Structure 1
Amino acid sequence: MKNNRESGLEQIIAPGKIPSRFPVLDYEMERKYEKQASETSPDYSEKYSTIPEVIKATVARFGERPALVYKNNGENSFITYSRLDNSASAFALALMDKLSVKKGDHIAMVMDNSPDWMIANLGIQYAGAADVPRAADTPNEILETIIPHSDSRIALVQDLSTLQKLPNAGRNLDYIVVMDHNFKGAAGNILSFSELMEYGMQHLPEKKDEVLDRIKGIKGDDLASIIYSSGTTGTPKGAMLTQGNYMNNIEQIPKGFNVNENDRLLSVLPVWHAYERQVEYVMLGLGASIFYGSIKTLMYDLNRAEHTILAVIPDILNVLYKATMKKISTESNPLERMLAPLLIAGAKKYDRARRILNKEEPEYREESAPVENMRLMIAAVHKALYAPLHSLAQKEIYSKIQEKIGGKRLRIVTSGAGPLPSNIDEFFSAGRPTIPQISEGYGMTETIVVDFARDHKHNKIFTVGKALSGIEFRIVDEDNKDVRAGEIGLLKIRGPNVMKGYYKEPELTSRMIDSERFLSTGDLVRRTIDDYVRIIGRNDDTIVLTNGEKVNPALIENELIANQLIDSAVVIGDRKPYLAAHVYLNSAEAEKFAKQHSIKYFSLEELETNKKLVGYVREIVFRTTGNSKKFAKHDVVKRVVLHAQQIPEEFLSQTRKLKRKMFNTSYSDQNEEIYRR
């Protein structure tokens, strides 16, 4: 199917073979990049108010540069900005002429990452319609909720297998468009993308002005998308996002990250997700290029894409971290196995000293001058003391990671859509300057989608950086009063990025957005003395023990999964006297443990109750949660249940976040049994 689709693409948009044009970068070139970014970034000040306007401006500046890069029969092929614009215009014309799409119509997109997705999406935007995107593997029952609720007139589906999901969901649709280029149409309202594109290409020369007139009629407050996100909370709800909502990030992100048309993004996250989609819009607004890869072929793509920017979720960084540690423990010679932990520990201590000296360590209270001076003096000593270990770690460990994730070209790694575990953040930070420090951001679909970001100028570890320009925020207590720096409170956001509301859900919207247009994110955070923000966890996830103590389970879970043996963990204990945890084992590591300890078993499930393994995991959990430097006494997990298999996919969102309420409901009987033992 994949090769067939690519041959169809060739017929329609005639891609070329990608030239080798990206320079190898290093940190000495950073100032050059900053200068290039300031000289070439478009001026957005009251100039562009919509996505189509930005794309048209990019085409005028960089028409013959590669916009979309994709794998084609083992080679990298590309589509220029001019061809992308021409193809999007042709599709927009077909929507307008053949399918009678009017400004403000809603069009569902049940598709995965590909150049087709972006062509179709921009075509929808050019036609003044709003897209309703989901992945091709979205379960039937969710499509049966989303498509009718969104009042979509048309649905674009990836292929015939996706089409088969629509008997009920597509009952009220005017048209269904199959994107597979081999599909040539069927009876009734089922159409082929190829045939629509052929019509658009044929008639575009004489009707181009019709598309341009439609674009001119689009305003900043017009609807661009309805993105349904059940996330971790249950029933899907549609966030109404305007052209102006998207434009806020398109304008602001390049200013902090020093990106320009010479950059290339490796796209591996689902493009229908708000985080990935917004990053791609930013790239297209600059004239940069996007390489379409996937999580399934990540390691191959990392070596193939020649990317300078990598946008990921924490789960991917955790996989890279564990792969590195596993390689050290299993494939190195004995001397390397002994030295590697020492080098990493030394690199971390050097990096922390460097951060303290450079004022890059988050501070939640003002220290007296004598205390601060002593802290700086100790940091200076540590930096000098651990410099040799840091230098050796760059050569022996981090240089190998550099080769795996993109080589010297890679200069920006962003992480979003979930909190970055502190041990992962610390590990990658210690790899500077060999690998880029992670630039963690924060946002949500409802605030599309970057509200805070650690950029080149504001990159304090363990935080999500500062609020983007134009975004206001409050951190409040239970009485809606502002809390002081260092105190934990609920984050509320106001700005041009905040959605119109939830589609056809006025009551839910009013609960989410107050009379002053501050949106309640539902996230608990802390603010540093200089306005950096650290995410603590979801307010709804807070566990309240019977003694009244409050626990954030995500912080504990993130620490536990740092261990190679633990794939994932779910901490429980609401209205109980103490905490317990479901621990899901990494099957390969569990089998390795069994072999090392001569444990006989016929199935992985037998290991769940093996005394030796259970005892070992309990010790890991007790030691981790009993660390008084990171956790309070009530954070200690006292009971553990092992699971030999990975956590079921049904309990994870598209961005690998735990659907905690669903999990606790499904495991309610087992949870009660844990506390009866």
Structure 2
Amino acid sequence: MNTIPQIIREVQTKYPDLNAQYYRKSKGTPFISRSFADFYQDSLDFGAGLLSLGLQKAEPVGLLSDNRREWSVADIGIQACGSADVPRGRDISDGEISIIYGITNCRFMVAERDVEVNRLVKAKKDLPDLKTVIVMQDYKNVADISDFSVISFEQVIELGKKYRETNPVEIENLVDDGKKEDVATIIFTSGTTGLPKGVPLTQANYLSHVSGGGERMGTEPGDIWLTMLPVWHSFERIVQYIALGNGVGLAYSKPIGAIMMKDFADINPQYTTAVPRIWESVYRNIQKKMAAASPIKRILFSFFVSIGGVYARLDNLYKGLTPRFKKRNRLFDKIVSAIPRLLLMPINAFGRNVVLKPIRSLFGTNLKAAVSGGGSLQKKIDLFFAAAGICLMEGYGLTEAGPVIAVRNLATLEAGTVGTPFPGMEVKLIDEDGNECPPGKMGLIFARSVQVMKGYYKDPEATAKVLSEDGWLNTGDLGVMTYDRALAIVGRIKDTIVLSDGENIEPVPIEKHLAYSHFIDTAVVVGQDQKHLGALIVPEFTNLQEYAKENGIEYEGIEDLIQLPEIKALYRKEIDNEVGHHHGFKSFEHIHNFILLTKVFEVPRELSAKQELKRTEVNKLYAKEIESIFS
């Protein structure tokens, strides 16, 4: 197999009646299924429709839409023609529309709604090559257009069917002619710290993911994967290829609590994908419900969650899955953990199968694993879901790497890490002196593989900064390797805080530890060029209000509550408890001062579409608060 369309063709030949897609036509309606055979023909019809409109081989096609079934049809259809799509989500800025679709000279655009069409009308002066816009949904409210034509998605499908009647083998021949070096997509990075950079990824970049991902996940034909993340991001995109390429159907959902949880109940999937923020949201909602439960239920819940977390650590120790950042004797680990693990086993089993069973049932009855990517999981979240018997597989990668660099293995979960390097991926860590780091020592992560991009789109200068002549990609991330070659992510080198005395501090480990607190939702460590560190703290408001109620603290609102001396004292105690010498933090990593914020972070202000912290934006939005920390 040389291309993703060729793989899809093979899958639909083997499993024509298995379902490739599950989707709702509108909110509240039942799921509709589409078989692999039908999905493949839909994609060929769409591709043939583009050919009838004049699409040329290797021509880029804009794809401006969020995750939905038509996106997948368009993606495979465009690639079937030997062309590349240029994807972006609806959260794109007007400036990015002009830059991305201007530099790629797109003549064809696929847009989700009339809203996106109108934005293209507005940007037309910057898009001189744009001739045709294809709309997935109804487009009744489109502005007057004279510069390009607008056609519906269904119309393109019909054009394709007619085109295939008169040209019955053309689109299939193009699929046959596909080569590994063909560009499959050009994904533009978010551009939060500058202009967006295009990352061309070839068919070869994607191919190894399909087999390697299936092996790591243990997928079986006929499984269902609930998909909800922005598909223009490389993480969700490769997940969809891994699923479809292994005969696994995609069920389309949204990362909105009520919608997502109903879809879990209705579709009962074997797999799902989410970013840490989504798992944190589920965790908070469960905690919120338990806060309103009876005292006995709260005590039992807390007890069995704690037991589950302790048992998970002992089980990892016994099975040799505890990360070895320092040399340790696995036999000794097995001996010392054997008896306490055995004693806790029946208690843990009772808690998991009786008390905590309702948590697991939220995700249906078939869930094998959930993949978490796009950021590091908080330890308390990882252990919480482990206690409930839900397997979270954490992974790591970036668009330029195609994207997966490392991921946990379903059979041997490497707790506390993002797993071992992906099949075919070389990883090395380099210290400040340019030497390769031994296990246990932090260094800059470099990756090399056929998955890695060959360079940024029309930007050799930017390429030279991150890609060596022998193919090593500088990820810009800091990590530590275990003696078993599992990778733990420490932070990003550009996030490093340098104090006025020259001390270099990585904020992410501190922020993750702060978030272990029952009363902290999010923490952002600040202190560039200062004498000491400070922190912006987003409280876990439900738990904070419950604390105030239990302790008879009266207040008029959140803004009043967080200013009370007893609340500030509570957070001082929590911060010192989480970030201190007893947890291995040095004195200069201590949080000297902090400020409590009144609202949770949201997309697109403080968080990106991937739910990642936009650190630069946070520093701008809360400049006054940060200044007050150090005044």
Q: Shorter-chain-normalised TM-score: which range?
A: over 0.9
Q: Tell me, yes or no, if the aligned pair for 1:578 and 1:637 is still in contact at 8 Å.
A: yes
RMSD in angstroms over aligned alpha carbons? 2.2
Distance 2:349 2:411 in 1: 24
How far off its partner does 1:390 sit?
1.4
How far off its partner does 1:181 sit?
4.6
Residue 158 of structure 1: aligned partner? 112
The answer to whether 1:421 aligns with 2:375 is no
Q: In the alignment, which of 114, 118, 126 is matched to residue 72 of structure 2?
A: 118
Q: Deviation digits for residues 261-296 of structure 1, max 9, x if unmatched? A: 121100111112111111111111112111111112
Residue 353 of structure 1: aligned partner? 314
Q: Deviation digits for residues 35-67 of structure 1, max 9, x if unmatched? A: xxxxxxxxxxxxx01111111111211122211
Q: In the alignment, which of 466, 472, 486 is matched to residue 440 of structure 2?
A: 486
The residue type paired with residue 47 of structure 2 is A
- Secondary structure of the residue aligned to 1:501 is coil
Distance 1:307 1:563 in 2: 32
Q: Deviation digits for residues 557-609 of structure 1, max 9, x if unmatched? A: 22323444433221101222221111123444454455555555555333342
The residue type paired with residue 21 of structure 2 is L
Distance 2:252 2:155 in 1: 24
1:305–1:232 Cα change, 3 Å: farther
- Secondary structure of the residue aligned to 2:134 is strand
Q: Tell me, yes or no, if the aligned pair for 2:52 and 2:163 is still in contact at 8 Å.
A: no
Residue 571 of structure 2: aligned partner? 617
Distance 1:77 1:153 in 2: 33
Q: Deviation digits for residues 522-575 of structure 1, max 9, x if unmatched? A: 111111111111111111111122343332212222232344443322110122
Q: In the alignment, which of 303, 316, 334 is matched to residue 342 of structure 1?
A: 303
Residue 21 of structure 1: aligned partner? none
1:150–1:596 Cα change, 3 Å: farther
Distance 1:622 1:57 in 2: 58
The aligned runs of 1:410-559 (5 Å cut-off) are 410-431=367-388, 435-559=389-513
The residue type paired with residue 208 of structure 1 is P
The residue type paired with residue 160 of structure 1 is D
- Secondary structure of the residue aligned to 2:468 is coil
Residue 234 of structure 2: aligned partner? 274
The residue type paired with residue 281 of structure 2 is V
Q: Tell me, yes or no, if the aligned pair for 2:85 and 2:186 is still in contact at 8 Å.
A: yes
Distance 1:633 1:384 in 2: 39
- Secondary structure of the residue aligned to 1:310 is strand
Distance 2:107 2:371 in 1: 36
How far off its partner does 1:651 sit?
2.6
Distance 1:66 1:176 in 2: 29
Identity rate, percent: 28
Residue 338 of structure 2: aligned partner? 380
Residue 353 of structure 2: aligned partner? 395
TM-score, L = length of structure 2: 0.93
Q: Tell me, yes or no, if the aligned pair for 2:517 and 2:578 is still in contact at 8 Å.
A: no
How far off its partner does 1:176 sit?
1.6
Q: In the alignment, which of 128, 135, 140 is matched to residue 178 of structure 1?
A: 135
Q: How many residues align?
A: 620
1:554–1:70 Cα change, 3 Å: same
How far off its partner does 1:456 sit?
2.3
The answer to whether 1:326 aligns with 2:288 is yes
1:389–1:635 Cα change, 3 Å: farther
Q: Tell me, yes or no, if the aligned pair for 1:184 and 1:195 is still in contact at 8 Å.
A: no
Q: Tell me, yes or no, if the aligned pair for 2:114 and 2:139 is still in contact at 8 Å.
A: no
Residue 310 of structure 1: aligned partner? 272
The answer to whether 1:91 aligns with 2:46 is yes
Residue 301 of structure 1: aligned partner? 263
Q: Tell me, yes or no, if the aligned pair for 1:179 and 1:193 is still in contact at 8 Å.
A: yes
The residue type paired with residue 350 of structure 2 is L
1:232–1:389 Cα change, 3 Å: farther
Residue 627 of structure 2: aligned partner? 672
Residue 5 of structure 1: aligned partner? none
Q: Tell me, yes or no, if the aligned pair for 2:2 and 2:203 is still in contact at 8 Å.
A: yes
Residue 78 of structure 1: aligned partner? 33
- Secondary structure of the residue aligned to 2:292 is helix
Q: In the alignment, which of 241, 250, 254 is matched to residue 210 of structure 2?
A: 250
How far off its partner does 1:396 sit?
3.8
How far off its partner does 1:470 sit?
1.3
- Secondary structure of the residue aligned to 1:508 is helix
Q: Tell me, yes or no, if the aligned pair for 2:91 and 2:609 is still in contact at 8 Å.
A: no
Which deviates the most, 202-211 or 238-247?
A: 202-211
1:298–1:363 Cα change, 3 Å: same
- Secondary structure of the residue aligned to 1:215 is helix
Distance 1:664 1:581 in 2: 11
Distance 1:455 1:240 in 2: 28
The aligned runs of 1:22-101 (5 Å cut-off) are 48-72=1-25, 74-98=29-53, 100-101=54-55
Q: Deviation digits for residues 58-100 of structure 1, max 9, x if unmatched? A: 12111222110012462121111121111111111111121x1
Residue 595 of structure 2: aligned partner? 641
1:189–1:308 Cα change, 3 Å: same
Q: Tell me, yes or no, if the aligned pair for 2:114 and 2:138 is still in contact at 8 Å.
A: no
Distance 1:175 1:59 in 2: 31
- Secondary structure of the residue aligned to 1:673 is helix
Distance 1:308 1:462 in 2: 23
Q: Deviation digits for residues 203-262 of structure 1, max 9, x if unmatched? A: 323323111122223211111111112265443111111111011211211122221212
- Secondary structure of the residue aligned to 1:540 is helix
Distance 1:361 1:561 in 2: 22
Distance 1:142 1:603 in 2: 39
Q: Tell me, yes or no, if the aligned pair for 1:221 and 1:243 is still in contact at 8 Å.
A: yes
Distance 1:265 1:231 in 2: 30
Distance 1:656 1:583 in 2: 17
Q: Deviation digits for residues 172-209 of structure 1, max 9, x if unmatched? A: 21222222156699764222222222211223233231
The answer to whether 1:197 aligns with 2:157 is yes
Distance 1:321 1:200 in 2: 46
Q: Tell me, yes or no, if the aligned pair for 1:145 and 1:169 is still in contact at 8 Å.
A: no
How far off its partner does 1:438 sit?
1.3
Q: Tell me, yes or no, if the aligned pair for 1:184 and 1:194 is still in contact at 8 Å.
A: no
The answer to whether 1:659 aligns with 2:614 is yes
How far off its partner does 1:647 sit?
2.6
How far off its partner does 1:391 sit?
2.2
Which deviates the most, 199-208 or 457-466?
A: 199-208
Q: Tell me, yes or no, if the aligned pair for 1:181 and 1:193 is still in contact at 8 Å.
A: no
The aligned runs of 1:203-222 (5 Å cut-off) are 203-222=163-182
Q: Tell me, yes or no, if the aligned pair for 1:184 and 1:192 is still in contact at 8 Å.
A: no
The residue type paired with residue 330 of structure 1 is A
Distance 2:556 2:117 in 1: 42
1:245–1:388 Cα change, 3 Å: same
How far off its partner does 1:373 sit?
5.1
How far off its partner does 1:497 sit?
0.6
